[in-house]
Amino acid sequence: MDKVVQVEGLRKVYGATVAVDDVSFEVHEGEIFGMVGPNGAGKTTTIECLEGLRTPDAGTVRVLGLDPQRNGKLLRERTGMQLQQSALPDRMRVWEALDTYSSYYAKPVDWKPLLAQLGLEEKRPAPFAKLSGGQKQRLFIALALLPDPQLVFLDELTTGLDPQARHAIWDLVRDIRAKGKTVFLTTHFMEEAERLCDRVAILDHGRIVALDTPPNLIHGLGAEERVAFTVAGGPSPALQSALSGIGRTEVQGERVVVHGKPDGETQLVSEVIGLLTAQRVVFRDLRTEQATLEDVFLGLTGRQLRD
């Protein structure tokens, strides 16, 4: 099966709030698909409609070829789900949670290696209530991997995790994909979406405002690139005018910043370095700044806080 998730005209309304408004997209087999968007954009609502936990008001949803409303049990057998909000009984221990939840699946994976992979081995006998936020999150990811799922839903994958855990989980998610499985995640970290996801959908006010690979999204924004460097004693007028030929140039004392639009062919940075080398200029502290997915995100969704 090529299309693991197919969504057509999905709509979900809560009273006067249109949480998801005519959303259509597809997720392909073996990709890491990310959904980003401001608070309240409708990410959780969308993902939970796909999981069969919420009933859509309109539209068709197919996950692994199944209708989540009608074939929920079969779907839950083959998918793993990590929810943004859920809990376990306070006094349930880590190993007991994995052991009990394994018994709900026909062919669960062995949970002991998962414990190690998620760095929870030391916490094996710890009760749920005594885990830190990040440890709980990792336990829920482990639970989501128990059914050896074809598709994993991860809502707010690394919220509340430290950088070590975040990188470990990125590796884990890449491992899942390497096994041919598909991952559908939501996140608030643009760096995470950019580094991890094959394709990213940006959701705002319940609608998809952009959907593409991270490089295409960034390129599509047409954001400018900057190259900054320092020349002892400041740039000579000749150098300044030569740099202006490449892009808009600003000089502040010894610091020089060249702005340019990426045109896809030559890179601004190699043009600048080429010129500096040709003119035998000694420079230091050279930095380049490129647009990131965060720029795309803020460009599309604005900078206002959401309620």
Interface ranges with other proteins (CB under 8 A):
51, 53, 73-74, 76-77, 81, 83, 85-89, 91-92, 96, 99-101, 103-106, 140, 143-144, 147
Exactly one of 9, 17, 74, 215 binds ligand ATP (CB under 6 A); which one? 17
Sequence-distant (≥ 6) Cβ neighbours of residue 130 within 8 angstroms: none
Give me the amino acid identity at 5. Answer: V
Closer residue to Mg ion (CB): 203 or 272: 203
What is the CB neighbour count within 10 angstroms for residue 21? 17
199 is a contact residue toward ligand ATP (CB under 6 A): no
Burial (CB count within 10 angstroms: exposed 0-12, middle 13-18, buried 19+), residue 183:
buried
One of 14, 86, 250, 279 touching ligand ATP (CB under 6 A): 14
For the CB of residue 52, give the shortest distance to ligand ATP in the complex, in Å.
15
Q: Decide: 9 and 22 in contact? Cβ < 8 Å.
A: yes
Nearest-approach distance from CB 154 to ligand ATP, in angstroms? 13
Q: Residue 40 touches which of Mg ion, ligand ATP, other proteins, none (CB < 5 to 8 A by kind)? A: ligand ATP
Euclidean distance between CA atoms 8 and 25, whole angstroms: 7
Interface size with ligand ATP, residues (CB under 6 A): 12
Region of 21-29, 37-45, 210-218, 297-305 interacting with ligand ATP (CB under 6 A):
37-45
Based on the shown chain and the rule CB under 6 A, indicate whether residue 76 belongs to the binding site for ligand ATP: no
Contacts with ligand ATP in 92-121 (CB under 6 A)?
none
Of the listed pieces 36-44, 98-106, 247-255, 286-294, which binds ligand ATP according to CB under 6 A?
A: 36-44
Query: Going edge to edge, which strands form the sheet with 283-289?
Result: 248-252, 255-260, 225-231, 283-289
Contact of 144 with 176, CB cutoff 8 Å = no
Using the Cα atoms of residue 184, residue 189, residue 192 and residue 198 in order, give the sign of their dihedral.
positive
| Ordered strands of the 207-212 beta sheet | 79-82, 151-155, 182-187, 32-36, 199-204, 207-212
Q: Which of 45, 150, 158, 187 binds ligand ATP (CB under 6 A)?
A: 45
- Closest approach of ligand ATP to the CB of residue 175, in Å: 26
Nearer to ligand ATP, 44 or 135 (CB): 44
Take residue 21 and report the two structure tokens written for it.
């408004």
Cα(276)–Cα(59) distance, integer angstroms? 58
Give residues in contact with ligand ATP (CB under 6 A).
14, 17, 19, 37, 39-45, 84
